[in-house]
């Protein structure tokens, strides 16, 4: 199972459910703590992204269903029903300003030992979810490896800032090891591989690099 952002959240949350068929996951740009290390609260402080992301979700969920999938003219009735009943999520998030059951659900930091599948965690220094990689490598008992690069909230074979990595090749090594039992060398990889950012001295003009 593999996913990025909310898909990455899902990978970890499903792994914590321990379905027998799930042997390995690759989770990118995700979190282990929905309360303290997501877009809602940091250090107990309300983040403005609550409103930005709630608005984004409202725009997503306000789109009409595909008539080819909904069938006939039914799409219009489904769309109107959706518009009349969908929630605006910001008030819901604001009603949970402390770590309560709402945030604990889906936060695997509540019980790292629940994860039994092998986990490859990937993220970037320019992403808000950079802390997850070290948390997973430090805390879960299942096979785990972490990679963090200079990237934003994207897949690292095409994300910026550069350099990119051969992420698809890394993913294939992971799948072959844990799904096929092939010796791909991932067992001997460092637990945590991190790109070390260059320092830049102050200047009036920075040449292109």
pLDDT per position as a tens digit, 146-193: 999 999 999 999 999 999 999 999 999 999 999 999 999 999 999 999
Q: What is the CATH number of the domain that holds 144?
A: 3.40.50.1820
The DSSP result for 116-128, as a single string, is -SEEEEEEETTST
Residues 80 and 183 in one domain: no
Show the domain range for 178: 2-35+109-194
Mean pLDDT for 198-206 is: 79
At 5-43, the pLDDT tens digits run 999 999 999 999 999 999 999 999 999 999 999 999 988
In whole angstroms, give the CA distance from residue 154 to residue 131.
16
**Cβ proximity of 19 and 116 under 8 Å:** no
Nearest alpha carbon to residue 108 among 147, 151, 141, 155: 141
Residues 22, 50 within the same domain: no
pLDDT of residue 209: 65
Q: How does residue 207 score in pLDDT terms, banded at 50, 70 and 90? A: confident
Among the three residues 94, 129, 162, which one is the final residue of a domain in this structure?
94
Same domain, 22 and 52: no
Same domain? For 186 and 143 the reply is yes
Looking at the domain assignment, is residue 103 inside a domain? no
The torsion angles phi and psi of 56, rounded to 5 degrees, stand at: -60, -45
In a domain, 100, yes or no: no
Query: How many structural domains comprise the chain?
Result: 2
pLDDT for the residue 154: 97
**Separation between Cα atoms, residue 38 and residue 41, nearest integer Å:** 7
Q: Are residues 121 and 185 in the same domain?
A: yes
Can you tell me the mean pLDDT for 106-117? 98
Residues 160, 117: one domain?
yes
Same domain for 117 and 59?
A: no
Same domain, 64 and 164: no
Q: List beta partners, residue 149.
A: 124
Q: Check whether residue 116 and residue 167 sit in a common domain.
A: yes
Mean pLDDT of 93-109: 96
């Amino acid at each position: 199972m593999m996913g990025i952002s909310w898909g990455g959240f899902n990978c970890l949350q499903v792994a914590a459910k321990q379905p027998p068929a799930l042997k390995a996951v690759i989770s990118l740009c995700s979190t282990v703590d929905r309360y303290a290390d997501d877009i809602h609260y940091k250090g107990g402080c309300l983040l403005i992204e609550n409103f930005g992301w709630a608005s984004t979700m409202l725009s997503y969920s306000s789109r009409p269903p595909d008539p080819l999938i909904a069938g006939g003219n039914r799409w219009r009735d489904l769309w109107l029903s959706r518009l009349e009943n969908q929630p605006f999520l910001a008030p819901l998030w604001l009603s949970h300003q402390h770590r309560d059951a709402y945030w604990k659900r889906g936060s695997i930091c509540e019980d790292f030992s629940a994860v039994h599948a092998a986990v490859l965690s990937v993220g970037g220094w320019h992403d808000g979810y950079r802390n997850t990689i070290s948390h997973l490598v430090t805390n879960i008992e299942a096979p785990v490896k972490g990679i963090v690069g200079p990237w934003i909230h994207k897949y690292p074979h095409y994300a910026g800032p550069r350099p990119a990595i051969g992420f698809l090749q890394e993913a294939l090594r992971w799948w072959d090891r844990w799904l096929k039992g092939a010796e791909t060398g991932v067992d001997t990889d460092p637990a945590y591989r991190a790109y070390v950012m260059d320092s830049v001295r102050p200047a009036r003009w920075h040449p292109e690099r």
